[in-house]
Amino acid sequence: MPESGAGGPVVLVEEAADRTVVTLHRPDVRNAINEAMVRELHDVCARLEDRPRLLLLTGAGGTFAAGADIGELRERGRDQALQGINSRLFDRIARLPLPTVAAVDGYALGGGAELAYACDVRLASPSARFGNPEPGLGILAAAGACWRLRDLVGASVAKQVLLAGRRLDAEEAHRLGLVAEVVPSAGLLTRAHALLDRMSRSGALALRLTKLVADAPGGHPVVDDLAQAVLFESGDKDARMDAFLAGERVATPGRTS
């Protein structure tokens, strides 16, 4: 499919009532992230901020994203770096109201890896490879890898990836906690949708506040209490607990309160 500006989108978007599925679609260049893709992903974020839904992010052609577009990076200077072209987008994805899942098949390198790191949960096929080779190009991984990867896998492994060029295969990523599951490529999206199905059965407001509290820097009991106070007053909480108690009474008819 042609790129934006040449007749078509570079991300494919499928909308459903409870989720949005986004497929990075520049398979001829292994889904390299260019400015057109950044713009289109910002558009997706705007829609999800306005109407929160779950997000599934994947790539076309057996690759998640093999990095940023080097041709564009070659032409960027100080002013473009200070704009944070990729980092602002990935931060926005990380802050989306409801959970995000990356289904990673094949390479997730450079900016592609940083995009996956920004999601809440990652699933991978056996062919998945995560890495940040930016120093080999004379730059650094400046769109979140230097701190997100450390939080995800620990400082030692993060420095091996960021400084020594180590690539994590799917099994290593799973063992280190970067990836939740390793699933055969043919079933990867099916498994990702099953995960989203499980999430969608939870209360949307409960998911949203849980994500906010989990991502809050430092953590504090007062934050937990305030979020719980909002949920305790919600009609969704009453309905779900009434349904749970009704089911419990059916399962144990002889029980007395």
Residue 235 corresponds to which tokens in the numbers above? 């009609």
Compute how many other C-beta atoms are within 10 angstroms of the C-beta atom of residue 116. Answer: 27
Length of the chain equals 257
Q: Please report, to the nearest 10 degrees, the dihedral formed by the alpha carbons of residues 195, 196, 197, 199 taken in order.
A: 90
The residue type at 254: G
Judge whether 218 and 207 are in contact, CB under 8 Å. Answer: no
Which residues are annotated as catalytic? 114, 134
**What is d(CA 123, CA 126) in angstroms, rounded to the nearest whole number?**
10
Kindly write down the DSSP assignment for every residue of 31-79, as one continuous string: T-B-HHHHHHHHHHHHHHHHS--EEEEEESTT-SB--B-HHHHHT--HH
**What is d(CA 90, CA 229) in angstroms, rounded to the nearest whole number?**
30
**What is d(CA 192, CA 195) in angstroms, rounded to the nearest whole number?**
5
